[in-house]
Amino acid sequence: MTAIKYVYNANLAKGTGLINETLTLTEFYKEGDSKESFLNRCISHNILNKSTEHRTKDIINLVFYQRYWNVDYQVVKNLKDLREYGLSLEGLKSLFYVYTARANQVLFDFVLELGESNQNQKINNETSKSFLLRAISSLKAPAWSDSIIKRVSSYLISCLKDFDLIDREGTLKMNHPNQMVVNYLLHELHFMGLSDGAIVQNKVWKLFGLSENDIITEIEKISFKGTFIFQHSGEILRIGWKYHNMDEFIENEYR
């Protein structure tokens, strides 16, 4: 019998947004670091002040690596360069949010479901618990115990709060990313090998509540700055890319 491969896991319970920790670890990173050397340096320098060695290992192995290192080694370097070149904390948080959602499909889908439903509804642990129970029923998640469901439900809400996605009334608040973040994500998707049409249709934009038309408008605005050539007529959409890799893009657009 083939084992079921679940879409969702409980990794989010190892850490929510962890924004300050991510900033610290990104700044401490050195180009050429291996996972082992980076972890050892973090422990020896007690880079995550007040964290035990066990907690430091958990944050790096189960959170930082999974979100920013496991998929693409270059991501940590990119984030560090953006930080050093002056990308705002707001912009960095937008990117942290994207990488956290990509690494945790349960968070990604939860946000998309909230965005597609009534945005005036109050969001709380019962909202996330109901989402998880439906996920278990549809075999997207394992048959978690009540205690695990409670933990993951709580961490989903905590993540939304960490990334400023819940307003004072407790309802969903989709934050429009600034142009520098949009431009970065456009180029990242391009260098991942996606076609121009697939970039516009990518679900990442829904994390910000943006439609395909919204993204097309943003692409057109960015093109006016000379970053790339943009052509859009009816169903035809083409982008004339100027840079050959992320290093070249960041060096010229953010420095």
Task: Name the percent of the chain lying above pLDDT 70.
Answer: 97
In the structure encoding, which two tokens stand for residue 38, read together? Answer: 């980076």
- The pTM of this model reads 0.94
For residues 75 and 192, what is the distance between their CA atoms, to the nearest angstrom?
Answer: 12
Q: pLDDT tens, 8-42?
A: 999 898 889 999 999 999 999 998 899 999 999 99
Provide the domain count of the chain: 2
Q: Which residues of the chain have pLDDT under 70?
A: 1-3, 73, 118-119
Element spanning 233, H or E: strand 229-233
State how far the alpha carbon of 51 is from the alpha carbons of 22, 54, 59, in Å: 14, 8, 10
User: Are residue 48 and residue 162 in the same domain, yes or no?
Assistant: yes
Assess whether 3 and 116 both reside in one domain.
Answer: yes
Q: How far apart are CA 99 and CA 195, in angstroms?
A: 21
Q: pLDDT digit string (tens) for 196-212? A: 999 999 999 999 999 99
Last residue of a domain, one of 175, 190, 218: 175
**Helical pair 19-28 and 89-103, crossing angle rounded to 10 deg:** 100
Regarding whether 199 and 167 lie in a shared domain, the answer is: no
Do residues 159 and 195 both lie within one domain? no
- Domain encompassing residue 216: 179-253
* pLDDT score for 118: 66
